Amino acid sequence: MDTILYWLGRASWQASLLAIIVLVAQRIFRRQLTAQWRYNLWLLVMLRFLLPFSLESSVSVFNFMTPGHPAGQPVVPMAETIASVPASAKVSFIKPALQPNAGQPESATTLGVMGEATQSIATNSSAPQWQWSWPYALAIVWFSGVLFCSAFVLNSTLRFARRLRSSKIIRDVAVLAVLDECKVEIGTNRAVTLLATEAVSTPALYGFWHPRLLLPTGMTESFDCKQLRFVFLHEMAHVKRWDIAVNWLMTVLQIVYWYNPLAWLAFNRMRMDRELACDALVLNRTGAHHRKTYGETILSLLEGMTGRVTAPGLVGIVPNKRELQERMQMIARFRPASRGSAWAGLLILIIGMSGLTDALTKEAIQLEDNGLQSPKAAAQQEHGRKKQTAGTWEERAPADLKGRGGSSVIWSGDEMIVFGGEGMGESFDDGARYNLAENTWAALPEEGAPSSRTSHSAVWTGREMIIWGGFGGKFGNDTNRNDGALFDPRSNSWKPVSTENAPQARFNHTAVWTGKEMLIWGGYTDSHSWYHGGYNDAHLNTGGRYDPATDSWQEISTKGAPSKRFNHVAVWTGKAMIVWGGGNAKKSLNDGAIYDPVNDEWRPISKKGAPSPRGIPVAVWTGKEMIIWGGASRDGKYFQDGARYNPETDTWAPISKDGAPNGRIFANGVWTGTEMVFWGGVNDAQASGFNDPNRYVDDGARYNPSTDSWTEVKPSEVISGRLTGLVWTGKGLLAFGGYNGRHLNDVYYYSR
């Protein structure tokens, strides 16, 4: 729904601006534009209302104004970001493998159990907060208006249809002969039924599929054949131009954009220009010397008009009396179209190119004109273009950071923010901000930053990034963390997170943002044993709630909570946190529970139809369902299946395997608003060791739950397989760093 709301808002203001431009153009060129060209201008406005997106262009009028988001970019909830997977890839719970570390032989370190991607999945899976905020209320108001307008249109249509039941078919041979002549003269061969009815007081055309020409009862006796000819020519002009279909489309758009007064003004003006265009078409066929007679015929019809009848499928020759003066002036001044109409077509082209295209993003503007950039930005963008291919991946400017994995990666709305992680056994306490539009990096401040750490969690609140937990030092020997800090991009500053009443220190836990609080749950407490491949019963089923507004913690109830675990997944639904899967010291799990923070209560999740026990799957929240896919079991089985969980019905539904990618772990997933997208990860099935490139997956997939279908994200020569951190920008994926046998600090952008 957030994407729909943004599309409605964007299309509404852009079409409104285009409507103003059309009105101004009609005013300036009122003597040069024919009635048909005036009408054609409104077709551009209608098309703008219809377009969910359009091509970016340097000639777009919207380059001069850029509200909120880059043009055409759907709104994605800011909390819906994804943290990085640790490139050190603690995944040897499948097959014990060794990672070479600085100063140690390759055999010195056995990597530990069940990776640390959980914080990544949890952060990404935070539900769209619009559901319980003012955009949600706005959506209710908009939808209520749509229902009301739809009901009104349906009622008026049905009432008019009932009034037509008493109509009589006109079979007068002379009158029908005039109608047939008019059809030939206008140039249409569609069958039209002639009806006499009390439902209208002036002639009107009704019906899209089977048009009927409605005449007031007695009109064929009171009007002579010459007058009837003018009436029929006008209505056959509507038939030829498919005006009833266009009128229905206008009505639908008025229902959708009921809140926009400029939409109503534009479509009312479009209907007026439609009648002028039909008048012009009639006079073009009959000759300008019939202007007076034609105008007198319309005036005669007006004398008998007793009321206005409206219905989307009804188009009349005299819609209302207010239009009369302008129509009479046009008819009196009418001249046949001249060659001047050619430049009118050029005006249409200019307005169309500028009004139907979207503004360039900052990135596109800079790519067009590197001369306006700083030398550093120009050099970075040149680097970003070096390896660009015709595919979907593009290399961007690398970070001025040491190669790393296990860093947190979030999307703030216009920047990717990276913090912490580890490389060659050493954790980091630094980070940087990446501006996608400018393709530039800026270091995070050192003052007030959290201590070095990896396998921590990160959430985006809409204003700040919260870093919490993890472990630091070298080779997992340092103390586990139960502290953190908040980073504010606006002030470029850190402030500490209180440790009073904070949960027990941990890593590989989950964290979700509720719109008010960060919920921490589960995880592991013994970094030394885990890092070196051992097992202790150090799993947790406790958690805490952190409120940044008060800098305070509350404990999460353990009554009814899931059993101790880590490498589980957690998503926020808008009103509850769902925890599922993962593993403990003995086995993988496929159970879970739903936590309600309002009542501080847990309730179990049904296991009927749930995926088999597994850890480190992809997990996203769609706004209605939690999608689980992939992952692996403790005995090394990689899963190529998944399921969708509906918390309202407490039921699972299977996901299609047709076209599904190969199984994997550590494949970070994002929800785009319509699809689950993931890329990369690990599959040890064909690998001979930890540094074997074959274990690092270089493809991905897009899953559409509405069609239960898969689309492949194919391997690319631009980016190699890896464990990596992903964020969804609203238009594409950003991948930062990770690990594929070496620690990385490069950046890639994937556009659908």
Tens of pLDDT along 136-153? 678 888 889 999 999 999
9-13, 68-72, 127-131 — most confident range: 9-13
Residue 314 has pLDDT above 90, yes or no: no
Q: What is the pLDDT of residue 54?
A: 66
Helix axes 243-256, 225-240, angle to 10 degrees: 60
- State how far the Cα of 271 lies from the Cα of 266, in Å rounded to an integer: 9
Given pLDDT bands bounded at 50, 70 and 90, which one contains residue 426? Answer: confident
Residues 6+ apart with CB under 8 A from 289: none
Q: Is pLDDT above 70 for 531?
A: no
Whole-number pLDDT of residue 6: 66
Q: Is 185 exposed, middle or buried (0-12, 13-18, 19+ CB in 10 A)?
A: middle
Read off the pLDDT band of 319 (50, 70, 90): low
Q: CA torsion sign, 305 to 308 to 309 to 313?
A: positive
Encoded tokens for 17? 């601006």
User: pTM score, two decimals?
Assistant: 0.54
Instruction: Annotate 295-362 with three-state secondary structure.
Output: HHHHHHHHHCCCCCCCCCCEEECCCCHHHHHHHHHHHHHCCCCCCCHHHHHHHHHHHHHHHCCECCCH
Least Cα distance to 489 among 466, 515, 516, 520 occurs for 466
Give the pLDDT confidence of 720-745 residue by residue, as tens digits: 999 899 999 999 999 999 988 889 99
| Structural contact between residues 519 and 129, judged by C-beta atoms closer than 8 angstroms | no
Q: Between the CA of residue 357 and those of 51, 63, 72, 266, 506, what are the distances in Å?
A: 10, 10, 10, 19, 50
3-state secondary structure (DSSP) of residue 125: coil
Q: Is the pLDDT of residue 94 over 50?
A: no
Locate 371 and state its tokens: 């001369």
Q: What was the pLDDT predicted at 684?
A: 76
Dist CA 615 CA 634 (whole Å) = 8
Residue 92 binned pLDDT confidence (cut-offs 50, 70, 90): very low
Residues 738, 423: Cα–Cα separation, whole Å: 9
pLDDT tops 80 at residue 158: yes
Model pLDDT for residues 510-525, shown as the tens digit of each residue: 999 999 999 999 998 8
The residue ranking higher by pLDDT, 12 or 69, is 12
Mean pLDDT of 330-356: 73
Residue range 690-727, pLDDT digits in tens: 566 678 899 999 999 999 999 999 999 899 999 899 99
Instruction: Report the pLDDT value the prediction gives residue 63, as an integer from 0 to 100.
Output: 67
Predicted confidence at residue 612, as pLDDT, reads: 96
Pairing of strands 193-197, 212-216: parallel
Query: Predicted confidence band at 376 (pLDDT cuts at 50, 70, 90)?
Result: very low
DSSP 696: B
Residue 473 or residue 230, greater confidence: 230
Per-residue burial over 128-149, b if 16 or more Cβ lie within 10 Å, else e, is bbbbeeebbebbeebeeeeeeb
Helix axes 341-355, 35-50, angle to 10 degrees: 10
- For residue 193, give the DSSP letter: E
Please give the Cα distance from 748 to 741 (Å, whole number): 18
Give the contacts of 531 (CB within 8 A, at least 6 positions apart). Answer: 90, 109, 111, 112, 475, 476
What is the band of 347 on the pLDDT scale with cuts at 50, 70, 90? confident
120 CB-side CA count, 13 A: 39
CA 281 to chain centre: 43
